[in-house]
């Protein structure tokens, strides 16, 4: 039996991975793509995993867009614009990369995010223009290649001593823009198919539930516990993806 052209075991993996990653997103403000893509890429083609994560990232981001625009730091709008311009080249590279190589590189991207979260917090002042530009370019390329704008963006915000809500809103705003750019690039390159959209829409209620539960848990933990939780989950996901490939 199949659903939208996917085997039941593939759908089952997608459901579990989606709920877990959505819960982390609600709690940490990031993690949907970083957690979902490496696991989903073990059951689907890497480009399919990336595009499904993009659809889910866009849909959940749009449900929060008013809050994001009000709360996000000004730099998030700059980074989002750069991401939109640099996503297509990353996806073009993914479309011609052999699947085993792509899976390995995607797992390494997830591992880099785990390491970035462990770095000591920096001063709250907004980084300079060059830092912001490089963050946007790297995030855009990784959005296209791995569906993960997070590794450059997470340390840019989480690594600074700014209010947690500002950091979360800024990251999610960038991720929402990145998801829209990823979908547009997939359509332009001919890799976005209806069955991927159907599976993503079927998974969307799971994202809503997981994200809501994560947001509810956020108000009950300290900033330090928040950082530790994010690091543990990211580390577990990245190491699991790497071990699966060895």
For the stretch 6-17, pLDDT in tens is: 777 777 888 888
pLDDT at residue 172, rounded to an integer: 92
Instruction: Quickly tell me which residue has 């450059």 as its tokens.
Output: 152
- Predicted confidence at residue 38, as pLDDT, reads 77
Q: What is the DSSP letter of 122?
A: B
Long-range contacts of 194-198 (CB under 8 A, 24+ apart): 195/4, 195/5, 195/6, 196/48, 196/51, 196/52, 196/55, 197/55, 198/4
Task: Specify the DSSP class assigned to residue 239.
Answer: H
Distance, in Å, from the CA atom of 180 to the CA atom of 185, rounded to the nearest integer, reads 9
Query: pLDDT value at position 241?
Result: 62
Q: Which residue has the higher pLDDT, 141 or 70?
A: 70
Residue 170, pLDDT score = 94
pTM over 0.85: no
User: What pLDDT sits at residue 234?
Assistant: 65
129-146 and 46-62 helices, crossing angle to 10°:
120
Distance CA 89, CA 196 (A): 21
Handedness of CA 181, 187, 188, 190 (dihedral sign): positive
Rounded (5°) CA angle 153-241-137: 25
Residue entry with tokens 């963006």: 153
What pLDDT score does 210 carry?
A: 93
Mean confidence (pLDDT) of the chain:
83
What is the per-residue pLDDT across 173-199, written as a single tens digit (0 to 9) for each?
999 999 998 898 888 878 888 888 888
- Cβ atoms of 34 and 110 within 8 Å: the answer is yes
Give the tens place of pLDDT for each residue, 129-170: 898 998 998 888 888 777 778 778 888 887 788 888 898 899
Pick the residue with more confidence: 167 or 220? 167
Question: For residue 245, what pLDDT band results from cuts at 50, 70 and 90?
Answer: low
Chain position carrying tokens 């947001």: 215
In whole angstroms, what is the distance from residue 145 CA to residue 120 CA?
A: 28
Percent of residues, the chain, with pLDDT higher than 70: 90
Residue 68: band (very low, low, confident or very high) from pLDDT cuts 50, 70, 90: very high
């Amino acid at each position: 039996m199949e659903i939208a052209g996917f085997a039941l075991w593939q759908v089952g993996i997608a459901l579990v991975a989606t709920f877990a990653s959505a819960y982390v997103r609600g709690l940490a403000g990031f993690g949907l793509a970083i957690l979902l893509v490496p696991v989903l890429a073990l059951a689907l083609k890497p480009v399919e995993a990336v595009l499904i994560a993009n659809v889910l990232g866009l849909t959940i981001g749009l449900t929060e867009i008013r809050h994001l625009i009000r709360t996000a730091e000004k730099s998030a709008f700059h980074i989002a614009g750069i991401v939109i311009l640099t996503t297509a080249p990353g996806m073009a590279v993914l479309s011609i990369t052999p699947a085993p190589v792509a899976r390995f590189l995607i797992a390494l991207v997830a591992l880099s995010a785990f390491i970035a979260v462990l770095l000591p917090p920096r001063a709250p002042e907004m980084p300079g223009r060059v830092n912001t530009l490089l963050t946007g370019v790297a995030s855009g390329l990784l959005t296209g290649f791995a569906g993960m704008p997070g590794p450059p963006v997470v340390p840019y915000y989480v690594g600074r001593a700014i209010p947690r809500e500002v950091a979360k809103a800024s990251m999610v705003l960038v991720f929402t823009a990145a998801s829209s750019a990823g979908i547009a690039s997939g359509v332009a390159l001919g890799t976005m198919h209806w069955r991927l959209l159907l599976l993503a829409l079927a998974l969307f209620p799971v994202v809503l539930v997981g994200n809501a539960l994560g947001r509810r848990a956020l108000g009950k933990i300290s900033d330090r516990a928040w950082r530790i939780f994010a690091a543990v989950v990211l580390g577990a996901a990245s190491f699991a993806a790497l071990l699966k490939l060895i």
